Amino acid sequence: MAKQDQLNKTDSNQLEEGLGDSAPEGAETPQAPEVNGEVNDTDSKIAQLENELAALKQERDELYNKMLRTQADFENFRRRSRQEFEQLALYSGEDLIKKLLPVLDSIERAVACSDLSSEKFENWRDGIVLILRQLQNLLAGDGLEEIPAVNEMFDPQFHEAVLQEKSDQVERPTVVEEMQKGYKYKGKLIRPSLVKVAVPDGDQ
């Protein structure tokens, strides 16, 4: 009986030693992962990425709007340049025409002052008239246009009144005499007509 008790004690000691061997001294007990901390870190990264994405979208929109403004500015510049070039080409001969107007005036005055009854000047006058007609046709073909004056209603846009008289023959200010012809070049006024204007007599 004593021998049996000794065997049982021995087995009990061996079992305790075996259990002790399964957990070495100094070993740390495993811990559960920190799930909450990882979730918070992920949310923070997502928020950061969303902020960066929003900033990139804003930058993209600003660049796009800037591109549209630049394109519009370029189109306006190109249109203005084309219009200026067309205007320059259209009126390129204006300075020359202005210089020729005094010559035209002189020839017209010479023709008007010639004595039609004198045979001495008949051939001379015919030659001058021919030159005048050629010059008028040449300038008209290039875009020069006389401004109507005599018997026309006075228009300050095209007529410059140098003399004025009252008249009971008119109801509105009317050009009765032209001192110097006015001209338009390709529709643009380059010299107003110098005229005498009759105005209604207020006593009537």
For the chain, the structural domain boundaries read 77-142, 145-204
pTM flag (> 0.85): no
Mean pLDDT by 10 residues, the chain (204 residues): 52 52 52 60 83 88 85 78 67 76 82 64 77 86 90 94 91 93 91 94 61
* Residue 183: per-residue pLDDT: 94
Measured CA angle at 121 (ends 102, 111), to 5 deg: 25
CATH number of the 145-204 domain: 2.30.22.10
> How much is the pLDDT for 64?
86
Give how far the C-alpha of residue 190 lies from the chain's centroid of Cα atoms, to the nearest Å.
Answer: 27
Distance between CA atoms of 61 and 67, rounded to whole angstroms?
Answer: 10
What per-residue confidence (pLDDT) applies to 147? 94
pLDDT at res. 115: 59
